[in-house]
Structure 1
Amino acid sequence: MTSILTPVLTDNWGDERAWTLASYEARGGYDALKKALTMAPDDIISAVKDSGLRGRGGAGFPTGMKWSFIPQDNPKPKYLVVNADESEPGTCKDIPLMMASPHTLVEGVIISSFAIRGNKAFIYIRGEVLHVIRRVQAAVAEAYAAGHLGTNIHGSGYDLDIVVHAGAGAYICGEETALLEGLEGRRGQPRLRPPFPAVAGLYASPTVINNVESIASVPSIVGNGAEWFASMGTEKSKGFGIFSLSGHVNRPGQYEAPLGITLRELVDLAGGIRAGHQLKFWTPGGSSTPLLTAEHLDLPLDFEGMAGAGTMLGTRALQLFDETVCVVRAVLRWTEFYKHESCGKCTPCREGTWWLVQTLAALEKGQGSESDLDLLLDQCDNILGRSFCALGDGATSPITSSIKHFRDEYLAHLTHGGCPFDASRSTAWAGLEAMA
């Protein structure tokens, strides 16, 4: 079963002091950079295109295509911004990647910046993870000292500086234009588009914004070739990815495997669902993706497979809940998060998430009537597609999907005059707290 795994980004995580330059270079680290510096920037972009790499931050947009949107005839500076503001409930792949092997990201940043002809790059890290910020800063300092960064890198004539920026701890800054606002010193709120960041992004200059895992995958593509990367995964979802399993599995953690693997295979790798219990529901890509049930165990975990099931692959944050967990309470917890994290810029999200919490909280207490489920769906309909950014859309996903799959459980709250899971409250809360 372990032959299913494809450790690339995670291959060195178990090495002694894997985060240091010496350990990284002992495994061939920065060899891909030296190769890239002998290539034409456009050839690197073509290789990333040919590899089929798609954004690993949720949307799945082709990475090489995003790079090619940068207008090279624009005289302004070109910037690369790495979105390391990992804040989605259940998502935990970028932070361990930066902790275990920050040089993988740093090398990816240098190659990617060279490809788009940028001379300054920013790594925007969530402010609460101070230990990660310090580790990435140390890796950047090591890279400068070794000549991988700075002026005339390895005699190529190419210059690059990297800034590690600590964010202000707002979930909304995971939205790329709100992240740019934060980098420029303003309140993190999404921008109106167009213009898009590729044309007028950071400091009104052409900007590429990519997720940590997307950029960290670039050195392996340059080093091993586009065909090597494209040989893994499925026809339209190429390559490998880090799948984060949390919740009621025996061995939660990070599992790097080709896209298209099934949840059943991943659960087997994780030692199965905890003894004496059964899988009830799960999220394929964090709490903002529509949840699925045990009936979907054998669906391929790729962009097309998840879209066909009415959900999204997202960040591959697989939160697994067994039958002891109340789905209404879980959805309420997630909705409270989105209400709290709404930036308040647009009315549908600011007011809508507040009303979603009020309605859900009443239902969880057994108050109201069956018509409140239709009210919930109507509230979601008034938010979906009408909010300024995707935060509002994400807030509706667990609600609409849970009513679709577990309508009877919502009604049971009304029948019992409260949560029917109260008898096992401590167990259910323990499971939810572990994933909060």
Structure 2
Amino acid sequence: MGLEKLLAPVLSAFWDEPESWTLETYRRHQGYDGMRKALALPPDDVIAYVKDAGLRGRGGAGFPTGMKWQFIPQGDGKPHYLVVNADESEPGTCKDIPLLYANPHSLIEGMVIACHAIRSSHAFIYLRGETVPVLRRLHEAVREAYEAGYLGTAEQRGKLGLGELPPLDITVHAGAGAYICGEETALLDSLEGRRGQPRLRPPFPAVAGLYACPTVVNNVESIASVPAIFQRGKEWFRSMGSEKSPGFTLYSLSGHVARPGQYEAPLGITLRQLLDISGGMRPGHRLKFWTPGGSSTPILTDQHLDVPLDYEGVGAAGSMLGTKALQCFDETTCVVRAVTRWTEFYAHESCGKCTPCREGTFWLVQLLRDIEAGKGKESDLDKLNDIADNINGKSFCALGDGAASPIFSSLQYFREEYEQHITGKGCPFDPARATLWADGPTTSHLEVNA
């Protein structure tokens, strides 16, 4: 065992079993036991239980899940909706898709509990449309849930023997592959059939969300974590992690590491520990920089190997835990090249609704391309910082903040490398060694947007 004792497989406990995605396999691992306990409680007690457990949203911001549910007004006479955000698009982030592929029933069970809590009779899963195998798995899992009586009319759900239950439907919706639809209000517009663009808030989705009705929007992992809390108890959940960031979570380790993959562990584990478990960086190389939560979070360096990977620890280090997408880059990687590629992604995915993001990301790309090609000027570095500052906190949604993050942090830690590109008239890295863009098997180690 050794270092692997640090891990806490819950959602990923049986991913490696044959047909792990089926209802039969899920039930064999106490599937839907947590749902039975939750449905025996009044809705308000379910919300209070999740709040007491301390579950925080696993989609990036870390907002308390139970508190989000509590915002839904009651007795308003309107339909209430649950929307699960499965539009996983952040560069480097790859936790929700494998979870849905290997264990979709954990999400469905969590949705049944959440719908009971917020008094909803219709829930939606908004899935990134390119992931067709996952879409098929989800459709099959929903079909199995209807057949078993977990979903359907009041009569169909009567099979469960849990008394009179209201009807409950789940709709699986495949998006068209837009990063902006990961923003919750843009997702709602897309779900309604409109162009996916962020909405002006207030009103917030809890008051006027899908079809102008009270709506909860949660990440896949947030909802999939709920059944285990009811099955094993809130004290068990709080026994992991830290006081303000309790529980287990999935860390997506990718890049120049020996064994990339999903590592499920308590919040607060460090990158050093995860690298020890995964075999470290690839042989003969050392860590240069890494992202704690995908490319939209400020990068960190090898000085931050012992930062606790929870919301407070990473925040104190000057970054964000985000989606826990730990992209690790070794010394062969050109920082300017990496930041340029990320910024090209944000410029391409900007919806164009607000000027700071639409214009700012475009100009950032032009400057970065010039610097990378050895055509930049010393004044361009201050210009980069100034443009990023005019995007950060001034755009309509968090996409602009995400685009500015790698600019600020890379200039903070690697300004000398930018200067080398300017004074040396080009990239100081040998293209044969810089595997970020080299052809061959080494490119598969990186999950930076192409």
Q: TM-score range by the shorter chain?
A: over 0.9
Distance in 2 (CA, whole Å) between partners of 1:68 and 1:227 is 21
Aligned residue number for residue 304 of structure 2: 296
- Where in structure 2 are the equivalents of 1:8-157 lying within 5 Å? 8-152=10-154, 153=157, 154=160, 155-157=163-165
Give the letter aligned to residue 97 of structure 2.
Answer: I
Q: Distance in 2 between matches of 1:426 and 1:382?
A: 32
User: Shift of residue 231 of structure 1?
Assistant: 1.1
SS at match of 2:290: strand
Alignment partners' CA distance in 1, 2:22 and 2:374: 54
Q: Does 1:241 align with 2:258?
A: no
The alignment status of 1:260 with 2:268, answered yes or no, reads yes
How big is each residue's C-alpha offset from its partner over 1:228-266, in whole Å with a ceiling of 9 and x where there is no partner? 111110111110110000011100000000000000000
Alignment size in residue pairs: 436
Alignment match of 2:376 (pick from 350, 365, 368): 368
Q: Which residue of 2 aligns with 1:317?
A: 325
Give secondary structure in 2 for the equivalent of 1:99.
helix
Give per-residue Cα distances to partners, 1:26-54, cap 9 Å, x unaligned.
Answer: 11111111121111111110110001100
Alignment of 1:128-277 (within 5 A): 128-152=130-154, 153=157, 154=160, 155-277=163-285
What residue number does 2:419 align with? 411
How many Å apart are 1:157 and its aligned residue? 2.1
RMSD between superposed Cα atoms in Å: 1.0
Among candidates 271, 278, 287, match of residue 279 of structure 1 = 287
- Counterparts of 2:366 and 2:76, CA distance in 1: 49
CA distance in 1, matches of 2:39, 2:419: 62
TM-score, reference length from structure 1: 0.99
Which structure 1 segments of 5+ residues have no match?
Answer: none
Shift in Å at residue 226 of structure 1?
1.2
Structure 1: which amino acid aligns with 2:384?
L
Q: Secondary structure at the match of 2:437?
A: helix
Greater shift, 66-75 or 418-427, is seen at 418-427
Question: Is the CA contact (8 Å cut-off) linking 1:245 and 1:317 kept in structure 2?
Answer: yes
On the 8 A contact 1:44/1:222 being kept in 2, the answer is no
Secondary structure at 1:188's aligned position in 2? coil
- Tell me, yes or no, if the aligned pair for 2:338 and 2:436 is still in contact at 8 Å: no
* Pairwise CA distance, 1:427: 2.4
Deviation at 1:426, TM superposition (A): 5.3
Tell me the residue number matched to 1:435: 447
Question: How many Å separate the matches in 2 of 1:337 and 1:168?
Answer: 16
Deviations 1:88-143 (A, max 9, x none): 00000000000000001110111111111000000000011111111111000000
Segment drifting more, 398-407 vs 36-45 = 36-45
Q: Deviation string for 1:119-174 (max 9, x for gaps)?
A: 00000000111111111110000000011111222243221000000011100000
Asked if 1 retains the 8 angstrom alpha-carbon contact of 2:334 and 2:434, the reply is no
1:333 aligns with 2:341: yes
TM-score, normalized by length of structure 2? 0.95
Is contact 1:200–1:206 with CA below 8 Å preserved after alignment?
A: yes
CA contact (8 A) 2:129 2:175 kept: yes
Q: Give the structure 2 partner of residue 351 of structure 1.
A: 359
- Structure 1 residues 400-429: Cα deviation after superposition (integer angstroms, max 9, x where no partner): 100000000001111221011134355231
What's the secondary structure of 1:136's corresponding residue? helix
**Partner of 1:429: helix, strand, or coil?**
coil
What is the CA–CA distance in structure 2 between the aligned matches of 1:177 and 1:368, rounded to whole Å?
Answer: 38
CA separation in 1, counterparts of 2:174 and 2:90?
17
- Structure 2: where are the runs of 5+ without partners? none
Q: Deviations over 1:343-378 (max 9, x none)?
A: 000000000000000011111111122211100000
Kindly indicate whether the alpha-carbon contact (under 8 Å) linking 2:95 and 2:252 is maintained by their aligned counterparts in 1: yes
Secondary structure of 1:321's counterpart equals strand
Are the equivalent residues in 2 in contact too, given 1:47–1:225 (CA < 8 A)? no
Amino acid at match of 1:393: D
1:381 partner amino acid: D
SS in 1 for 2:436: helix
| Identity rate, percent | 68
Q: Secondary structure at the match of 1:388?
A: coil
Shift, 1:12, TM fit: 1.4
Q: Which amino acid aligns with 1:428?
A: L
